[in-house]
Amino acid sequence: MHHASYAEKYRPAAYADIIGQETAVEEVKRFLKEFPKRKGLILHGPAGTGKTSLALAAAKESNYEILELNASDLRNRAKLEQIVKPAAEQKSLFKKGKILLMDEVDGVTGTDIGGVPELVRILGTTKYPMIMTCNDVWQSKLSPLRSKCKMVEMKALPLSTIITILRDVAQKENLDKEISFFSQLAIKSQGDLRAALNDLQSHFHEDSVVDVTEKRDVEQSIFNILRKLFKERGDFLGLFDTTKLSLDEIFLWIEENIPREYRNEALARAYYALGNADVFRGRIYKDQSWRFLIYQNIFQSAGISYAKKVPVQNFTKYEAPKRILKIWLNNQKTMQKKTIAKKYARMVHCSMKRTMRDFDLLRPVFKKESVQKQLKFSPEEIEFLAK
Amino acid sequence: MTQTEIWTEKYRPTKFENVVGQHEIIKRIKSLVQAMNIPHFMFAGPAGTGKSTLALIIVKELFGEHWKENYIELNASDERGIDVIRQKVKDFARTKALKNVPFKVIFLDEADALTREAQQALRRTMENYTNTCRFILSCNYSTKLIEPIQSRCVMFRFKLLEKKDISEVMKKISEKENLKLTPDAFDAIYEASEGDCRRAINLIQATAAISMDINSDMISMISASAKPAGIKVVLDYALAGDFINARDKLLDVMLRESVSGSDVIKAIQKEIWTLQIEPEIKVRLTEKTGETEFRMIEGSDEFVQLQALLASFVLAGQGKAI
């Protein structure tokens, strides 16, 4: 079968293929098991986190038929009454049950007059579970649905999960790339797997020459930024507008290269400024106080530039950030360590994090056969401990 | 019941009488439990001082054989988002207690790791389900919990265990497991445990895996092999002015040992006093270290704050003002 996009081609077919959303998967399973305790479920979260995939996988796993309406369909009252309502009340033709999937309900707008109230009515009478997806569940027009439905959040996928999936897909497509390439796509995706897969695909079809030029363009622009910040003295408040890279990506580039440029007092002042930028970024994350963005911006531009007393003119070789990559590689290596810690932590009423910290102390204990049996270690875990 | 092979579990006290230390707290809690009605509790204090143990004893005393159906335990440092509160906690809290028991108990361990958003959700849940459910929150620092949660709980502050407490536990274990401990082994275990009973028990079990006769040298060897090594190397590079190597080594240590930024800060703070530098500079570096710990809580990227601290060590190494 030919698929237009990787995102479609590699859409997970089973629960087990949905990576990094274990809680959401459990919640959907439970919802279907307990139906009709609750008739509707809303999967909400950022784009590309697997909302639609999860709904489709649920139908497959339960051997249910699926009736799907998405934003491309007109979903006004008449249409819903004509299509969804009968489906919700009639028996499925061939299979035991069905799932009504209303994809992207936040897209039910303007022209879909009476759409949301009709969905609420259908929820009242449906004989089948209804799953809805949306990005922002808190908008007011969805409030009548919220009170009637179970809500399950799907989070942006962690970097390491996206890298793992990208590598996996690339391997299946015989696409040979460096690990740093995947990590760059993953950073750029900001947790949106679909975007990452689309990027991956575009790189596959592109001529490799184009690929290199684009990379060179981005690097050129970031190198220019770094040169200005590190060599000259100035406010440079609009400087970051000249690149496609996000403020957080630039942050990593600056962090990597401060010690390649600055020494002693300038080094300390530059890191202090970057630390300030990070403190404000922390406040943005914690309280969604986006007005602090300007402070992050100033500290990581003017703060870095004025860390030195006088401009410099020598040549410095800048390097791409390596930290994220190192963390990811390490995660791969310590997968077993984590699963061991998880099993142990559950047994002894303590956190996995704490167990990870005490891992070396506990290692002789984990090596005992009786303990391994009690904690049901897998062969891989036992092998990891033997190393 | 099958006997567990893990000593922290095997020797976890199951009755108030068997808990070491924390006598005042136990006296007060016991009288509340006997009245069969408890408020929400907050247990604040360092790790390994009996917070989880007491929570378990409380539910066993309250619910007898039905404690398992009416109790859940969640660890907020592993699941720190709002989802845990919205789903697991709420689902458990809103259903009625089973088997003629007046309410259920939720033990939320390391509650100070919850995000603010999750804490807000928790606060509402505590209010709404007060009839069916009691909370026991444990935390290292009560100040990391929002005020409205603190004010809904009766607070108990747990202290680090003293040497006699740790030694009592060690003595009991060595008798049951047929271990022979030299007198100085007790000192060494207490030193290495830093008043954390879980660590002490882990340490003695790890050592016992090698030998049944245990002396202080063996304890020191085992505990040293398990310490986040390499922080000294990191600081030495920084003091010598080699920032890039210091940074690389720091990341290696953190990844290899799975230590967090705050663990590194603790190790650095201790290490400062063993360095060959002027005492005045040690004081300045300690100030910087404390400042860094504070900024790490505020910021989003611990490693950046640690790099800023290393830059101060570079200056210190050259006798410059920090």
With CA atoms as reference, the chain B residue closest to A285 would be B300
Kindly list the domain boundaries of chain A, sorted by start residue: 21-153, 215-325, 334-386
B5 inside domain? no
Instruction: For residue B108, give the H/E element and its range.
Output: strand B104-109
Asked if ipTM goes beyond 0.85, one says no
Predicted pLDDT at A53: 92
Residues 82-141 of B with CB under 8 A from A: 82-83, 86-87, 109-110, 115-116
The rounded distance, in Å, linking the Cα atoms of A323 and A353 is 21
Over residues B208-225, the pLDDT tens digits come to 988 899 999 999 888 877
Do B305 and A282 lie within an 8 Å CB cutoff?
no
Do B210 and A259 lie within an 8 Å CB cutoff?
no
**How many CB atoms neighbour CB B289 within 10 A?**
20
The rounded distance, in Å, linking the Cα atoms of A34 and A14 is 20
Question: Is B123 in the same domain as B189?
Answer: no
Predicted pLDDT at A95: 58
Do B308 and A371 lie within an 8 Å CB cutoff?
no
B67 inside domain? yes
Predicted pLDDT at B2: 54
B264 inside domain? yes
> What's the whole-number mean pLDDT along residues A202-211?
54
Q: Hey, what amino acid is at B199? A: R
Question: Is B219 in the same domain as B245?
Answer: no
Quick one: pLDDT band at residue A216, thresholds 50, 70, 90?
low
Q: Judge contact between B235 and B317, C-beta under 8 A.
A: no
The rounded distance, in Å, linking the Cα atoms of A104 and A100 is 13
Predicted pLDDT at A207: 45
Q: Determine which of A87-101, A297-311, B130-144 has the lowest per-residue pLDDT on average.
A: A87-101
With CA atoms as reference, the chain A residue closest to B244 would be A259
Instruction: Pick A285's closest partner by Cβ from B206, B300, B304.
Output: B300
Tell me which chain A residues have a C-beta less than 8 angstroms from the C-beta of B258.
Answer: 334, 337, 356-357, 359
User: Given CB atoms, is B244 within the 8 Å cutoff of chain A?
Assistant: yes
The rounded distance, in Å, linking the Cα atoms of B34 and B32 is 5
Which residue range(s) make up the domain with B186?
163-225
Give me A321's structure tokens. 């950030």
A209 CA: distance to closest CA in chain B (Å): 33
Instruction: Pick B203's closest partner by Cβ from A275, A330, A361.
Output: A361
B8 inside domain? no
A321 CA: distance to closest CA in chain B (Å): 12
CATH number at residue B271: 1.20.272.10
Among B196, B225, B254, which residue terminates a domain? B225
Beta strands in chain A (DSSP E): 40-44, 65-69, 98-102, 130-134, 149-153
Predicted pLDDT at A1: 45
The rounded distance, in Å, linking the Cα atoms of B21 and B32 is 19
The rounded distance, in Å, linking the Cα atoms of A42 and A65 is 19
Give me A382's structure tokens. 């036992």
Residues 38-57 of B with CB under 8 A from A: 47, 52, 56
Tell me: pLDDT of A3 over 60: no
Instruction: Pick B5's closest partner by Cβ from A155, A345, A374.
Output: A374
Highest mean pLDDT among A34-43, A226-235, B88-97: A226-235
Q: What is the dihedral of CA A94, A98, A100, A101, to 10 degrees?
A: -90
- For residue B104, list its beta bridge partners: B133
Residues 219-238 of B with CB under 8 A from A: 222-223, 225-226
Instruction: Pick A371's closest partner by Cβ from B6, B82, B301.
Output: B6
**Whole-number CA gyration radius for chain A:** 26
Query: By C-alpha distance, which of A304, A314, A317 is closest to A233?
Result: A304
pLDDT means per 10 residues in chain B (322 residues)?
80 93 91 87 92 94 87 82 74 76 88 82 83 90 84 91 95 95 94 92 92 91 73 93 95 84 90 90 95 89 95 93 82
Domain count, chain B: 3
Q: Which residue has the higher pLDDT, A48 or A251?
A: A251
CATH number at residue B145: 3.40.50.300
pTM: 0.58
Instruction: Pick A370's closest partner by Cβ from B5, B247, B301.
Output: B5
Q: Is A178 left (phi over 0), alpha (psi -120 to 50) or beta?
A: beta
Q: Which residue has the higher pLDDT, A373 or A218?
A: A373
- Side-chain half-sphere exposure of B87, counting CA atoms within 13 A: 19
Q: Is B294 left (phi over 0), alpha (psi -120 to 50) or beta?
A: alpha
CATH architecture type of domain A21-153: 3-Layer(aba) Sandwich (3.40)
Q: Judge contact between A281 and B299, C-beta under 8 A.
A: yes
**Whole-number CA gyration radius for chain B:** 23
Query: By C-alpha distance, which of A69, A124, A73, A72 is closest to A99?
Result: A69
B16 inside domain? no
